Structure formats: C-alpha cells, structure tokens
Amino acid sequence: MINEGSSKPREPRNNAEFMLMHTIPLGMHATLRAIEDVILVFVGWMSITIRVFTRREFGEDQLNLGHGLMGLITIRFFMFFANLQTSLSFIPGIQPLAEARTVNRTFVLCFIAVTVIHILRIGWRNNQHIPWHSHNFGVSWLDWMLSLPSFTIKGIRVQVSDGLLYRVIEPVLCYAVIWFLLPDSFTRNYLLWASLALMIHNNLVFNTRRKKHLAAINAEIESSVMKQLRDEAFGAGTPSVTQTMGFPVTPIPPIMETLGIRPGDIEATVAETMGTNEETATVNA
C-alpha cells in the first residue's frame, strides 16, 4: 500500500502489523490494508451523520459539502442493504419484506439543515479572517466535562481529558441516549450503528495524532541517548545537540568531524570516499 503523496511503501504502524507483513504474502497484506482503508473511509462517512449533532466549530477540511453528501450516500447505502431481501425477491424462495426499511425523513432533513449551518459558520469565520485550524474535528458540546474536578476510584485518580471525552464518553453517551430514548425502529438501528462508527472513528483519529506525538518523544529520547554515547566515546567537549523542530537532534556525526568534512560538502565527501583528497593526491605525486 502506498502513502498518499509518497512513492514508498507504507511502514507498519505497530508490532502486530510488522509480524503480519512477514507471515503472509505481501500481496495479501496489501489487499487487507486496502480493505481496512475502505472500512475506515466508510466509518468516517457514517460517523459524520452523528458528529454534526454532537460538535461545533469544525475545521474546513473536516466538514464541507462533500462530507455532507457522503453522509447522505452512506444513509442510502445502509437502506439499500437493509432492503436487499426485497431487491432479490425475484429469485425463487426469497420473499420480499412486508414493509420497506427507511431512515426517518425528519432525521435526514435535520442532518442536512445542521450540516448547512456548520458550513455557513465556517464561511462566516473565513470572511471575518478568524484563524482556525482546518483539521479541527470539532468541539464537543460535552467539553464542559473537561472542567469537572478529578475523582478517585479505588485509589485510581480519574480526570476527564480530551482523550477520554472523545474516545469513550461522547460515543457511549450517544449510544445510550439512542438506545433508551428512541423507539424501536430502523432509524434507531441506523443511529446505533452510527454511534459505534463514531467510537471507531474517534479512536482512530486519536491514535493517529498520538502516534505523531510519540514519534517526537522517541526522537528526543534517541537524541539524548546518542549524545550520551558521544560524550562517553569522545569526551564531554563534543558539540552539544541543538534544538530543531521542538526536539534535540545531533547535527554532525563524529566521523564527519574527524575527517574534517562539513555537512552538505558533497565534493569533499566524494573525495574522501574515492581516496582522491589532497593528502592522497600528494602521496601519489
């Protein structure tokens, strides 16, 4: 599987995926990853039919007209598969459904109206030149829970954080409200599935952003270890690490310092590699 905007194969995201790549044929692994990507896209489309009601202040890349249309198409696909028995009733032995399964029209109209309101809000914000991150996935109406005091359960301190709110509380609360308040209907069943899709989507978004944060932490740890090894091997007088992009890195490998080669000095690097530097030339002469 190829990353968008990259010509290199996508790297495994965890140890389980790394083992999977080396225990099954590469073609099968690529197929499974492609199926996974399709599922993730579908989950995102399905969850948008819930997110527009539970959040506000979306970023422009997270909610636009295309997302709204994909949400409507997802509802239509859900209805199509639910009524597939009727569609296949021309086959002998398959009886059509006694009643067509449809999502409540009021819910669909409310989804369209709320989506348009969000899009107009984004347009107004742009016209007012209000800076807002385009990848902001929306602010939950439950964000007031973040200010609640922490409490202790069996010696474990619990504090409502962004991760807990979006990954657990928001989707579970949606599922519970739909389960207990809505009457048993096809619309209720759809919204229950959409709530599960919301939980999957929120966790995937959180894990993706968490992975980037951990990558920065890992780079800082690795650079610290490298500095320690340099100090042990060459003494504490070696150049210290510099701050780059928020975490320390080692700009010049010791071997290059020893050879007197400056970073980016391609000619000197080639000369040293091929044995054609000034000293070699003098000896040969």
* pLDDT of the residue at 262: 54
What digits encode the pLDDT tens for the residues 234-260?
Answer: 665 544 445 444 455 544 444 444 445
Over 70: is that where the pLDDT of 203 sits? yes
The Cα 194–Cα 179 span in angstroms is: 12
- Give tens-digit pLDDT for 90-145: 777 777 666 767 888 889 999 999 999 999 999 999 999 888 888 888 889 988 88
- Ranges of each domain in the chain: 15-220, 252-284
Tally of residues, the chain: 285
Position 164 scores a pLDDT of 86
Residues 204-232, mean pLDDT to the nearest whole number: 81
pLDDT band with cut points at 50, 70 and 90 for residue 4: very low
Q: Say yes or no to pLDDT of 49 above 70.
A: yes
Selected residue with higher pLDDT from 101 and 172: 172
Residue 24 pLDDT greater than 80, yes or no? no
Most confident of 6-15, 110-119, 143-152, 221-230: 110-119
**CB distance 40 to 203 below 8 Å:** no
